[in-house]
Structure 1
């Protein structure tokens, strides 16, 4: 019987946690450890919204451990140094860790393995903790990863999904292992006012409610901007307060077209992870370059700021950007149309938009965020790389009466019906009622023409 350390990263839960269960199977005592990584802070990923949600998650995880006789140990610093320090203090024989896909995570794992082995300790890395299917477990015959989603999804769907593990009944932590005070969102500033609550308890409650009364309508309503008919589980999947394996298994048990469509979205999450695992440089470089000469932050500053603040003059774009500012979250359809507007209508480098999303999104995730931005920009895996999402057409399809716009753009709340999407066409009296709401920063025809010339080929205006 020995002591183990479980390093929590993006898996802040007790239910269906393979590293914790594996550690408990043979160990006399376990140290549940979270390290506030100075490398993440230095890279700019420790943003207020995600730090607040993380604080909720850590407090909830600690509470769950205490109900089982344990506690969470929190340290700050270099992950490798802190894990080795705790392993020495606890005289631990091994460390358990969930696999991750980013280049940073791979470097961290390699450094940790070398450091532990130098001290005579073992590192165990567990798959299918943050994904349903291990990246690289399914590949096409001609490559080390899938570049097109549909064939990936066919093979992904045919894979066996492991059983869900129960939360442990008891966790015994060795005495004398010091811990920092748990962080609190109350100590943070600059948060989005409508930021959701974090933690496994909140995540499991949301999942249960979603499967009970939301998922059945998902296939028909997932693009309904005003209806807000998506699960909003992405922050919990990002922080690992919910297991993607459990989410998929429970959705499939619920069954029906809505559940099938929802599971397909979880598969997209795994798709992006297998792509990033195979091509780590895609986090910052074009996956498939179109040799674009993007407008930079310096040359397009006014347009970029209008986009960031939700003042482009296109109400559906502005509503989405203001939702992001207020909630630290945005509807998936809105993410697509706002990204298309920046990258293709304004012809601004997709990395500018990806950085802004990562600054605010509570579910800001390198794989999903960067590769979805590349998909929209036409430098990623989209099979129609030159499609342009027309914000007026998108508004007509997904917010036909303008309810989403009126919710987030108060200047336009008195404009009834679909006229709210084109306020520049209002009569003088109605236009005056919109206050200082701006005219469009660019005509759609002008933006489309510029993009066509930049790509030197025909484009689709969708």
Structure 2
């Protein structure tokens, strides 16, 4: 009797360029694909509400893709350390394989599962995930992780001269699943309750179609039409000039090697800047691999002593709702709530305003973005918040304080972005600013001086 392969899907919801699926397909035995909604394992962060919406739709897409190939997706909810070995035993799996994860708690879970499977006499492999390189594959001359992006990128570039990123792996021609009663039972996706009860679903669906096919369509459209002007236009939130591939990469509907390979034929400043942004994502994962508490602890230890004042819930709520009286900040926060996504320029401005003008701990903002962004992942979300706060790796200095009014003048000069999201700005219906920008800046600099002492 054939011993099937068990392929454990995680943040890699695709069938193309899926190393684990390819290894299982080459083995030639029946395949069972597994996705575990793990909200129980210690240290693994529960998904935010917007992320759950995306996951629901992307799993539907993955189910359809696997069905087309003749495969089977099994859904289970619970602790992965219990579910994966138990399902492997139920199937008498001859191979268990997955693509790697790089967060600390996730690695702990994977290590425990790998040990349990090997103790049970099963063959188990982990494969490179969705990054350009594994986080440990580049290091400083002292064999330490990089603390500055430019040397990291230079090391990456030099490595690629010697050993280019792997070519994307083709979709398996065909999959087979176990016969009859050997097919394991699966949860019903709708029973997981991933879809939001709040007024998000309609707004998210306005601009997003999760799934592998839609991801490829978006990538191809961006590279054909927009990448040439990316370097010049990407900073203007009122322009539709960014790739919007971040949720595709976060959920692994695309891998970074796929995007890198697709962009390989494009030259010029825009394509170069775009590749640089892909490498920045890898830098975030490189950092998380060596600093697994990134969403809880300031990377620069001295910032743990920062004199945050007592939280004013009314100010935090005004920021979350896009009701601060600062038009560019409010535009970004309303875009976030409505679409589960925000332009990168707006992310920097809104984060800087919260941390520096309102003197609210960056962790409050990171948590809100985690809950409301469709693209928030364990590395890039805290990494970028700490970059703005000044507490992170290669971070902007704390005294770099974005002035939202000057940012609007420079990057939304005609006011198109603000008019779209804050049409009442300038009218009697618009609230007064919750903080004076000059006073907020001076208060932030005074607090920063206390950390420097």
TM category, shorter? over 0.9
Question: Aligned runs of 1:298-447 on 2, under 5 Å?
Answer: 299-381=311-393, 382=395, 384-412=397-425, 423=426, 434-447=427-440
- Structure 2 equivalent of residue 282 of structure 1: 294
Of 170, 173, 176, the residue aligned with 2:174 is 170
- Cα offset for 1:228? 2.3
Question: Which range is displaced more, 113-122 or 32-41?
Answer: 32-41
SS, match of residue 316 in structure 1: helix
SS, match of residue 29 in structure 2: strand
- Structure 1 equivalent of residue 446 of structure 2: 453
Question: Which range is displaced more, 382-391 or 111-120?
Answer: 382-391
Q: How many residues align structurally?
A: 436
Q: Cα–Cα, structure 1 residues 191 and 83, in superposed 2: closer, same or farther, change >3 Å?
A: farther
- Cα offset for 1:188? 3.8
SS, match of residue 136 in structure 2: coil
Of 181, 184, 187, the residue aligned with 1:180 is 187
Q: Does structure 1 residue 51 correspond to structure 2 residue 52?
A: yes
- Cα offset for 1:39? 2.5
Deviation digits for residues 415-452 of structure 1, max 9, x if unmatched? Answer: xxxxxxxx4xxxxxxxxxx2421111111111111111
Question: Aligned runs of 1:17-56 on 2, under 5 Å?
Answer: 17-39=18-40, 45-56=46-57
- Cα offset for 1:3? 2.1
- Structure 1 equivalent of residue 17 of structure 2: 16
- Structure 1 equivalent of residue 228 of structure 2: 216
Q: Cα–Cα, structure 1 residues 78 and 95, in superposed 2: closer, same or farther, change >3 Å?
A: same
**Kept after mapping to 1: 8 A contact 2:370/2:376:** yes
SS, match of residue 63 in structure 1: helix
In structure 2, what is the Cα distance between the partners aligned to 1:188 and 1:217?
36
In structure 2, what is the Cα distance between the partners aligned to 1:194 and 1:8?
28
TM (norm. structure 1) is 0.90
Deviation digits for residues 378-423 of structure 1, max 9, x if unmatched? Answer: 00121534211111111111101111000001213xxxxxxxxxx4
TM (norm. structure 2) is 0.92
- Cα offset for 1:36? 1.3
- Cα offset for 1:295? 3.0
- Cα offset for 1:22? 1.0
- Cα offset for 1:121? 1.1
- Structure 1 equivalent of residue 153 of structure 2: 153
In structure 1, what is the Cα distance between the partners aligned to 2:266 and 2:135?
26
- Structure 2 equivalent of residue 418 of structure 1: none
Q: Does structure 1 residue 268 correspond to structure 2 residue 280?
A: yes
- Structure 2 equivalent of residue 66 of structure 1: 67
- Cα offset for 1:40? 7.0
**Kept after mapping to 2: 8 A contact 1:252/1:260:** no
- Structure 2 equivalent of residue 5 of structure 1: 6
Q: Does structure 1 residue 294 correspond to structure 2 residue 302?
A: no
SS, match of residue 11 in structure 1: coil
Q: Cα–Cα, structure 1 residues 151 and 301, in superposed 2: closer, same or farther, change >3 Å?
A: same
- Structure 1 equivalent of residue 112 of structure 2: 111
- Structure 2 equivalent of residue 251 of structure 1: 263
Question: Which range is displaced more, 5-14 or 103-112?
Answer: 103-112
**Kept after mapping to 1: 8 A contact 2:131/2:256:** yes
**Kept after mapping to 2: 8 A contact 1:452/1:458:** no
In structure 2, what is the Cα distance between the partners aligned to 1:284 and 1:312?
26
In structure 2, what is the Cα distance between the partners aligned to 1:103 and 1:301?
31
In structure 2, what is the Cα distance between the partners aligned to 1:142 and 1:449?
40
- Structure 2 equivalent of residue 206 of structure 1: 218
Question: Which range is displaced more, 88-97 or 35-44?
Answer: 35-44
CA RMSD in angstroms, aligned pairs only: 2.0
**Kept after mapping to 1: 8 A contact 2:41/2:79:** no
- Cα offset for 1:183? 3.6
**Kept after mapping to 1: 8 A contact 2:43/2:105:** no
SS, match of residue 40 in structure 2: helix
- Cα offset for 1:44? 5.8
**Kept after mapping to 2: 8 A contact 1:38/1:78:** yes
**Kept after mapping to 2: 8 A contact 1:16/1:167:** yes
SS, match of residue 39 in structure 1: coil
